[in-house]
Amino acid sequence: MWYETGLTIFGQKIAYTELVGQVLALAVVFLAQRRSLLTWPVQLVSVALLFTVYLSAHLGGLATRQVAVGAIAVYGWYAWVRRRDPVFGVVVRKGSPRERLAIVGAFVAGTVAFALVLDALDASWAPWPDAAIFIGTILAFALQGLGLVEFWLVWLVVDAVGVPLQIRSGLYFSAFVYLIFAGLVIHGFIDWNRTARRLTQAAKSPL
């Protein structure tokens, strides 16, 4: 099939769709760190390519994730266009304690529910990590669209689950990309956290 053609690196075959899709996914993290509007159109191209990769690897959760992320990317693009500060760019903030608790609850409940669905439909050979990555990704992009700093922390959880799953699936390049993701995510969290603090201080400063 066209989406299975690729190249071999260190004895491992990497499909061009996986290569380009993951490189673009890395670009998304880089662009998100800088709060660039290009984050979202690049994301749309990435998910279209990775959808075919995960579908061929029989990872239904990861394939479905691409569809959901594509829909959220459209919303995120719209939200970021409307919520821009002339000095700091996209407005970002830290979540409240209640919001953080809701994030954790949504991740746990969503993972359990979706894992049971994947298992019942025989849509994934690893339903629990597959589900955790799916729910974590949906949460991360939704929180990113809302400008919440905590979305970076959700991405760290996704990376921690994703690396071993990609390796066991034979998607070694994707596993390598997930490791790079982790470094970019940590840097992005520090940057967004700093920006959120500056925005809070600016809001409190007298005119």
75-125 per-position pLDDT tens digit: 999 988 887 665 556 788 999 999 999 999 999 999 999 999 989 988 888
What pLDDT was estimated at residue 2? Answer: 45
Q: What is the 3-state secondary structure (H, E, C) of 83-135?
A: CEECCCEECCECCCHHHHHHHHHHHHHHHHHHHHHHHHHCCECCHHHHHHHHH
What pLDDT was estimated at residue 178? Answer: 84
The pTM score is 0.79
